[in-house]
């Protein structure tokens, strides 16, 4: 088969959720963030496994993602939409019982007019300046908004993956101040915030990346294995080159394996001549440029001809590969693309 296989370990995924859940007090609810198609791994399968493991609160970025999730999960769980209540979303939010995280006075007004008496959350901006009501706006609408009984009041940390960053304590203090005396449940922490400790946990936490095995959750179990089938193996002489632009030249007689995935599959071209692939635990260097659908690998030192080589595995996590590419695990995962055969195990 020419299609590469992305294996997703649902037992590791739910184990990561349980491990993050165990870091906060039993009174704190641990939700799950499954936006961007479950960080590229397939939101429906991921969310169904998490539902079975006990998750009852899910977060997505867009109402459309929420609609697909509602169809996959049924009526029971709460589904929060981080982009809030946008024009055109009213029917989806109302019909499918989605909970918009209202980010502005405009969204509050739209929601209260279009769907009075239905569930909503409020997002406050405590310094990230991305989504949410500014403190002054909140002061102006707070009393009215609270009479409508929000399901959740939340904010998001800008620097939670840097525990020493002064922004964390600043945002914590401001969030406390803005939500002083409020009855509604409160939420501040994503994966990084959970690891900052109990002060940050409040009533509900919203981990995403940690579920999928990524930093900053250092104790995470790897969830993905990406195995690329070998299409062809060739012998080349010393002095011959490999790939577009002839950027790699063999110093000695070599065996080169060509595997079936490329930059169209989220294996960024910047990995060219940098990344490793693995045959079991044996490192095999990527040689030459990554092309759209293909990667070339030096397998001279292997004693057998490989059928497939792994680029993500226990040996090389999403964060390891991200580091080579100069990015973060989040981008590696969400960039993986639709062409892989996704295989769910566990």
Ligand X SMILES: *Cc1c(COP(=O)(O)O)cnc(C)c1O
Positions marked active-site: 35, 244
Q: Contacts with ligand X: how many residues (CB under 6 A)?
A: 11
CB of 95 to ligand X, least distance (A): 24
User: How many other β-carbons are positioned within 10 Å of the β-carbon of residue 48?
Assistant: 17
Peptide bond into 285 cis (omega under 30): no
322 binds ligand X (CB under 6 A): no
Q: Which residue do the tokens 């739910």 mark?
A: 14
Restricted to residues 200-239, the positions that interact with ligand X (CB under 6 A) are 206-210
Q: How far is CA 86 from CA 14, 60, 132, 203, in A?
A: 32, 14, 13, 26
191 binds ligand X (CB under 6 A): yes
33 binds ligand X (CB under 6 A): yes
152 binds ligand X (CB under 6 A): no
Considering only the stretches 69-77, 142-150, 168-176, 189-197, report the one whose residues sit in contact with ligand X under the rule CB under 6 A: 189-197
Taking the least distance from each CB to ligand X, the nearer of 211 and 309 is 211
Taking the least distance from each CB to ligand X, the nearer of 92 and 152 is 152
Helices (H) and strands (E) in the chain, counts: 11, 19
* Among residues 111, 156, 186, 279, the one that binds ligand X under rule CB under 6 A: 156
SS3 helix, strand, coil % of the chain, rounded to 5?
Answer: 35, 25, 45
73 binds ligand X (CB under 6 A): no
Cα 284 from Cα 146, distance rounded (Å): 59
Structure tokens at 256: 């080169």
User: How many other β-carbons are positioned within 10 Å of the β-carbon of residue 291?
Assistant: 16
> Are the C-beta atoms of 223 and 17 separated by less than 8 Å?
no
Taking the least distance from each CB to ligand X, the nearer of 210 and 222 is 210
190 binds ligand X (CB under 6 A): yes
Taking the least distance from each CB to ligand X, the nearer of 89 and 298 is 89
* Contact residues: ligand X, CB under 6 A: 33, 82, 156, 190-192, 206-210
């Amino acid at each position: 088969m020419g299609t590469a296989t992305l294996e997703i370990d649902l037992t590791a995924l739910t184990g990561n959720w349980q491990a993050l859940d165990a870091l906060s007090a039993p009174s704190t609810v641990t939700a799950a963030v499954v936006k961007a198609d479950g960080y590229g791994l397939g939101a429906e399968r991921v969310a169904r496994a998490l539902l079975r493991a006990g998750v009852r609160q899910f977060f997505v970025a867009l109402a459309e993602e929420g609609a697909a999730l509602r169809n996959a999960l049924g009526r029971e769980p709460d589904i929060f939409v981080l982009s809030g209540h946008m024009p055109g979303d009213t029917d989806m939010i109302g019909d499918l019982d989605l909970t918009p995280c209202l980010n502005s006075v405009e969204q509050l007004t739209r929601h209260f007019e279009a769907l009075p008496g239905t569930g909503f959350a409020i997002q406050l901006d405590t310094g990230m300046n991305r989504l949410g009501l500014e403190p002054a706006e909140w002061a102006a609408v707070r009393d009215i908004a609270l009479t409508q009984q929000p399901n959740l009041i939340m904010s998001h940390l800008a620097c939670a993956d840097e525990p020493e960053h002064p922004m964390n304590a600043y945002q914590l203090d401001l969030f406390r101040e803005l939500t002083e005396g409020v009855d509604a449940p409160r939420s501040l922490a994503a994966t990084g915030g959970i690891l900052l400790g109990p002060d940050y946990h409040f009533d509900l936490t919203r981990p995403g990346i940690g579920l999928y095995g990524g930093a900053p959750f250092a104790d995470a179990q790897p969830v993905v294995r990406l195995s690329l089938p070998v299409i062809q193996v060739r012998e080349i002489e010393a002095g011959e080159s490999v790939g577009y632009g002839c950027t790699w030249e063999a110093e000695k007689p070599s065996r080169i394996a060509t595997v079936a995935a490329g930059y169209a599959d989220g294996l960024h071209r910047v990995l060219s001549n940098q990344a490793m692939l693995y045959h079991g635990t044996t490192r095999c260097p990527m040689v030459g440029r990554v092309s759209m659908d293909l990667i070339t690998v030096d397998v001279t030192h292997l004693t057998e001809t490989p059928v497939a080589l792994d680029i993500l595995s226990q040996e090389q996590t999403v964060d390891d590969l991200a580091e080579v590419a100069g990015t973060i695990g989040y981008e590696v995962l969400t960039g993986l693309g639709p062409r892989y055969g996704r295989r769910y195990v566990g």
